Structure 1
Amino acid sequence: MSSQPPGETVSARLSRLGYALPEQASGKERYVPYRRDGSTIHISGQLPYVDGALPAQGHLGRDVDIPQAQESARLAALNVLGVAASAAGGLEHVRLVQMLVFVASTPDFGDQSRVADAASSFLLKVLGENGEHARTAIGVAALPRNSPIEIQMICTVA
């Protein structure tokens, strides 16, 4: 884990890293962005949208290279944080439990974990020890909107 200035808030850390929480979209889909059960929050899969657009599309091993996919993973993780902050009443209250990273990839691509590592590292830098999590990274045939990455998360209110 990277060193963090003493007393630095999670929001300040996020800003220092060059990111801001995205605006939360109004629920147009037929599901909710999260479901809270007591202190546990289940966050629906988030794509790496930036201002309503996907910065990369397609499959790893064919259309998208690892650096592009790693940035997409960080962006999807940022979108997860936006939902989590909304559900928990702020980033300071979010503690990650488990992350599931879906990577659209060709059958011969085997570096899904390298892509997911970018999201894990980002979350640890932002949340510190509250960003520690169990994780699964799996390759899939396709994702919504031809996104290369989708991230689903379970977290708690710390």
Structure 2
Amino acid sequence: MTDPVADHVERALADLGLTLPKAAAPVAAYVPAVEAGGLLHLSGQLPFKDGALVTGRLGEGLSLEEGQEAARLCGLMVAAQIKAALGGFGRVRRIVKLGVYVNSAPDFTQQPQVANGASELMVALFGDAGRHARSAVGVPVLPLGAAVEVDAIVELSASALD
């Protein structure tokens, strides 16, 4: 039996010229994903490009476009963590919420536009099931100096056949 969600995600990745990265291991004392009550809670994911962490602060050296790309890279890692936790995408019913944290200079106020990098990727990958609630928050620093961090809550079905 084919998995229509996985098929959609794989087609979308190919159409966008993207590949899922290997799901990143935790950098401290936590797990990448916890399934509870029909939801998959994903820990914050950082942006990696060609194996290197994207670092810096928006409004101090990083442009809006670079921030959007960093958020998109975080979104790719979110998708990689979903696949790693579930063994595929067949149980994904909906991306419920993204939390987007933007390493921001004090006068930088375009966090929502930065967050669109991750939000638009979720819709591209999951279609209508990728439309989600969201927080976009400016912070003075992120772990390892990352430019952006994204966490997620994903609604799951009991099985891939639901």
TM-score class, shorter: 0.7 to 0.9
Identity of aligned residues (%): 40
Match of 1:91 in 2: 89
Q: How does 1:40-55 map to 2 (within 5 A)?
A: 40-54=39-53
The amino acid across from 1:82 in the alignment is A
Q: Give the RMSD, CA atoms, in angstroms.
A: 1.5
Residue 5 of structure 1 corresponds to which residue in structure 2? Answer: none
SS at match of 1:42: strand
Matching residue's letter, 2:13: L
What do the CA deviations read for 1:68-117 (whole angstroms, capped 9, x no partner)? 11100000000011101222331243220010000000111100001001
Report the counterpart of residue 109 of structure 2 in structure 1: 110
After TM superposition, the structure 1 = structure 2 runs for residues 3-152 of structure 1, keeping only pairs within 5 Å, are 9-27=8-26, 29-54=28-53, 56-94=54-92, 95-152=94-151
Normalised to the residue count of structure 1, the TM-score between the two structures is: 0.88
Q: Distance in 1 between matches of 2:24 and 2:107?
A: 35
Q: Report the Cα distance in structure 2 between the residues aligned to 1:34 and 1:52, rounded to whole angstroms.
A: 21
Q: Which has the higher strand share?
A: 2
Assess if the C-alpha contact under 8 Å between 1:14 and 1:20 holds in 2.
yes
User: For this pair of structures, how many residues does the alignment match?
Assistant: 150
In the aligned structure 2, how far is the partner of 1:27 from the partner of 1:62? 28
**Structure 1 unaligned residues grouped into runs of 5+:** 1-7
